[in-house]
Structure 1
Amino acid sequence: MMINIDTKKFAKAWINSWNSHDLEDILSHYSDDIEVTTPMIKMAIGLESGTLKGKEAVANYWKKAMEKVPDLYFELYEATEGINSVALFYKSILNKKAIEVMFFNNEGKINRMFAYYTD
């Protein structure tokens, strides 16, 4: 089933949620069965797969990450769209550039996300 996502509106809301540091607001974009894969997970907690599954596990990870990086601030460079997905290119933590590819379920919530970072 195709869903209709306003990519620019979503990107702005997603960036604003992260920059607010409001975990509940951040989590509002994600489904309960979210699967997040990022090298930051491997780096931060040593999980070799770099993948966390489920909103609770992801929320715990993000809460700890935001405590470690209290001045977290993302700057959007570009938002692109795909089939039931978006990819955001933005300035991330540690002055890294990031691309996050997010896939949406039928309710318009992110249920899979892959992140990529520059060195």
Structure 2
Amino acid sequence: MESFAARWAAAWNRRDVEAVLAHFRDDIVFTSPTALAVAGAATIHGKQALRDYWNAALAAIGTLHFTVDHVLWDPSRRELAIVYDSRIDGRDRRVSENMTFDEGGLVAAAEVFHGVTGIG
């Protein structure tokens, strides 16, 4: 799963929403505290709504860079946690993005946890 996390971060660093979405189910359930401010709800339902949210969020920022620190994978639960350092418009913070995969290898649910801004 380290290679998945590396590809995921590289897609974000290119701002390639479609490459990130390629790993998600059409009926994805995605929860993030940032979504509340951008999309008006903390939980996003469906790939198109997630695409709209991410495109709106990217349009509102200048620079973005994710650096994966480590990944935690539980194969019996098909759960992945990507722990990474996020730098957005010069603000650093630690993030954990937790994903649950279906039997076909697509992300069925994801939840993002943000740490304190200014870690770097």
TM-score by length of 2: 0.86
The equivalent of 1:62 in structure 2 is: 54
Select which of 8, 17, 24 maps to 2:18: 24
Please state whether the residue corresponding to 1:77 is helix, strand or coil. Answer: strand
Runs ≥4 residues deviating over 4 A: none
**C-alpha RMSD of the superposition:** 1.2
Task: List alignment gaps of at least 5 residues for structure 1.
Answer: 1-6
Task: List alignment gaps of at least 5 residues for structure 2.
Answer: none
CA distance in 2, matches of 1:117, 1:23: 20
CA distance in 2, matches of 1:46, 1:31: 22
CA contact (8 A) 2:28 2:109 kept: yes
Count of residues paired in the alignment: 111
Which structure has the highest strand share of the two? 2
Q: Does 2:7 align with 1:13?
A: yes
CA contact (8 A) 2:28 2:108 kept: yes
TM-score by length of 1: 0.87
Q: Which amino acid aligns with 1:89?
A: V
| Post-superposition offset of 1:22 | 1.3
Q: 1:59-98 maps to which residues of 2 (within 5 A)?
A: 59-82=51-74, 83-92=77-86, 93=88, 94-98=91-95
The equivalent of 1:116 in structure 2 is: 113
Higher relative contact order (CA 8 A, sep 6+): 1
> Percent same amino acid at aligned positions?
29
| Post-superposition offset of 1:9 | 1.1
Q: Which amino acid aligns with 1:52?
A: I
Which structure has the highest helix share of the two? 1
1:13-61 Cα distance to aligned partner (Å, 9 max, x none): 11111111112111111110111001111133332xx100000000000
Q: Which amino acid aligns with 1:53?
A: H
